[in-house]
Amino acid sequence: MLKKNTFILTILFCCISLIQIPLQAQKATARVSIDKHEISIGQQATISLQVIAPKGRQIAFPVYPDSLVNGIEVLGMPKPDTTFAHEVMTITQKYVITSFDSALYHIPFIPVIDGKDTIKSNDFGLKVSTPPLSEATNAYLEHLKANPNDSIIFDKLAVNDIKPVQVPDFVWQDYLVYILGALLILLLIAAIIIGIYIYKKKKEKGYYFKPQIIEPPHVIALHALDHVKVEKLWQQGREKEYYTEITDILRKYIEDRYHVNAFEKTSDEILAIANNFMLADSSSDSLRQILKLADLVKFAKYKPFPDENDLSLVNAYLFINQTKLEVPVTEVVNEIPEKVVHDNNEPETPIDWTISDDDMLDEHKNK
């Protein structure tokens, strides 16, 4: 029984060895085919080199930098295509070729590296022929052979291109340099035009750009009062808004005209400071009437009479017109009298124009 089992195992091992030996001894094979066996000068053909080898083999195809053989140029070598089936791989490498010499070419083989071995493909041929010439062209060539001293007239030769000249696809990046150059030229022209315009404007008007017109405080205040007059707030029962706008306009005017923090002062404080600037009693009276009545309306809910509302707006106009800073005259007085003498021959008491630092705006302190 033991002998029988040993015999069976020996037979199995032998069978397995016989199966593995062909697999290990199998070599790669290479086969070449060409899609066109005959081409005209300048036409292209494709060579397909197919290698069948066991899976995992290191196969290396030849790389031709310029020519396959003398007279046949290699234009391209696409990426190889690989397929697998039953532990066998099939690799196909293509070569795009052309020729400009008419002849019958014979390629004996294309070598392929299989690991450490080199395998050779089958041979193949390629016929490159010149395009057929017309009878007129052949006759003219015969004439040139008989008269070699004659100059060639290409119209009579009637030799045309194999293919018409192809127009390449439009790619805007190819014209980027020209586009940038045109833009730079346009910018330069625009800069020259602007420079000429500015120069002429400077020469005619004395300035490059129109200066900003800064209106004096009294003009701004009078325009604001005109706007309040048009709004007719108190006629709509909005007396509080009416007096708020008038007092804000006057505070802004006093602040810009006399550089006093009028928005941070109470009505009494404004009147006390304003007394230092008022040359006419009517100015102080007008300002006092507006501020006192405004405080009653805003804080005591006082309902003023229509005449009081009109009077407040009139006094606001009067206060601004009496205290505005007029444009200085061209004539300058050489001497200013120290004392102003009235009709009663009594000197007028000088006005105290000093303002405390607390009442001045920050930008006018320490000047």
pLDDT digits (tens, 9 = 90+) for 41-75: 889 999 999 999 998 889 999 999 899 999 999 99
Taking 80 as the threshold, does the pLDDT of residue 317 lie above it? yes
pLDDT digits (tens, 9 = 90+) for 346-359: 444 444 434 455 55
Element (H, E) at 124: strand 124-129
More confident residue, 249 or 285: 249
Which residues share a beta bridge with 339? none
Taking 70 as the threshold, does the pLDDT of residue 24 lie above it? no
Looking at every residue in the chain, the average pLDDT score rounds to 80
Residue 147 CA to residue 284 CA, distance in Å, equals 125
Q: How many residues does the chain have?
A: 367
Q: Superfamily for 27-129? A: Immunoglobulins (2.60.40.10)
- The pLDDT-based confidence of 283 (bands split at 50, 70, 90) is confident
Q: What is the pLDDT of residue 278?
A: 67
Q: Are 120 and 96 in contact (CB under 8 A)?
A: no
Give Cα 23 distance to the centre of its chain.
65
- Among 88-97, 194-203, 262-271, 358-367, the range of highest mean pLDDT: 88-97
Strands 38-40 and 88-98: unpaired
Q: What is the pLDDT of residue 354?
A: 45
Going by C-beta distance under 8 Å and a sequence separation of 6 or more, which residues neighbour residue 167? none
Residue 42 CA to residue 162 CA, distance in Å, equals 8
| Residue range 176-204: mean pLDDT, rounded | 88
Q: What is the pLDDT of residue 347?
A: 46
- Please state, in angstroms and as integers, the Cα–Cα distance from residue 101 to each residue in 130, 131, 270, following that order: 8, 12, 109
Q: What is the pLDDT of residue 330?
A: 37
The domain limits of the chain are 27-129, 133-166, 173-205, 217-327+345-364
Q: What is the pLDDT of residue 311?
A: 92
Give one DSSP letter per residue of 236-270, joined into a string. GT-HHHHHHHHHHHHHHHHHHHH-B-GGGS-HHHH
Please count the other Cβ atoms lying within 10 Å of the Cβ belonging to residue 127: 14
pLDDT digits (tens, 9 = 90+) for 134-176: 788 888 888 888 888 888 887 777 777 667 788 888 888 888 8
- The pLDDT-based confidence of 280 (bands split at 50, 70, 90) is low
- Among 17-21, 93-97, 175-179, the range of highest mean pLDDT: 93-97
- Among 117-121, 137-141, 208-212, the range of highest mean pLDDT: 117-121
Residue 194 CA to residue 186 CA, distance in Å, equals 12
Least confident segment among 72-86, 177-191, 283-297, 325-339 = 325-339
- The pLDDT-based confidence of 332 (bands split at 50, 70, 90) is very low
